[in-house]
Structure 1
């Protein structure tokens, strides 16, 4: 399966990384920042998320998601935009959304379903962008 590494367009991986990472900043800081705080039980408060861990950590996780997705994408020989969307939905719903929801369902997140909707939808949009970029730049 790893034999496709030399076939991957690594520029597309970097473009997808930049798009997904910047989407996260937009999603959690601008578009849904306040409701995200509500989901965490921190409404009206400043989040302590300005340190390097809170910037580099999500970036590294997104990069791993994209590299793993690119390996699968190339092994599955995705040849149409429709297949790219199907791939995004399979990975997005099957792994990212379900895992995010599983993480949300714990006693430390006071509004788990709200948290899941916000974070899962971010990942679903992010993986869809990634799949379309990987296909377009293949």
Structure 2
């Protein structure tokens, strides 16, 4: 599986990383800031998310997801947009949505299904963008 590393188109990885990462800023700071705060039980608070951890950490996680998807993309010989969308659904629903929902179901998140809906949909859109960019720039 790892013999495909040399086949990865690194410009597509960079483009996918930037798109997915910036989508996060758009998602949480512009589109859904209040519902996200509600999901965390902090509707009337200012979130303490200004440190480097909350900027760099998600970027590192997105980069790992994009790299893993690029490896799968090459190993599975994805060659069409249809196959790219299929991979996005499998990875998005099978791993990202399932894992996000599992994380949300704990006593520290008062609105787990709202949190899951917001965060899972972000990851599903992000991985779909990733797969489409990997297909477009291969």
CA distance in 2 between counterparts of 1:106 and 1:116 reads 12
Instruction: Give unpaired runs (5+ residues) of structure 1.
Output: none
Name the structure 2 match of 1:134. 134
Name the structure 2 match of 1:112. 112
Name the structure 2 match of 1:14. 14
Secondary structure of residue in 2 paired with 1:121: helix
Secondary structure of residue in 1 paired with 2:124: helix
- RMSD of Structure 2 on Structure 1 (CA): 0.4
Cα offset for 1:75?
0.4
Cα offset for 1:44?
1.7
Name the structure 2 match of 1:68. 68
Any runs of at least 4 consecutive aligned residues in structure 1 with deviations exceeding 4 A, and if so which?
none
**Superposition TM-score, scaled by structure 1 size:** 0.99
Paired residue total: 138
Cα offset for 1:124?
0.1
**Superposition TM-score, scaled by structure 2 size:** 0.99
Instruction: Give unpaired runs (5+ residues) of structure 2.
Output: none
Name the structure 2 match of 1:87. 87
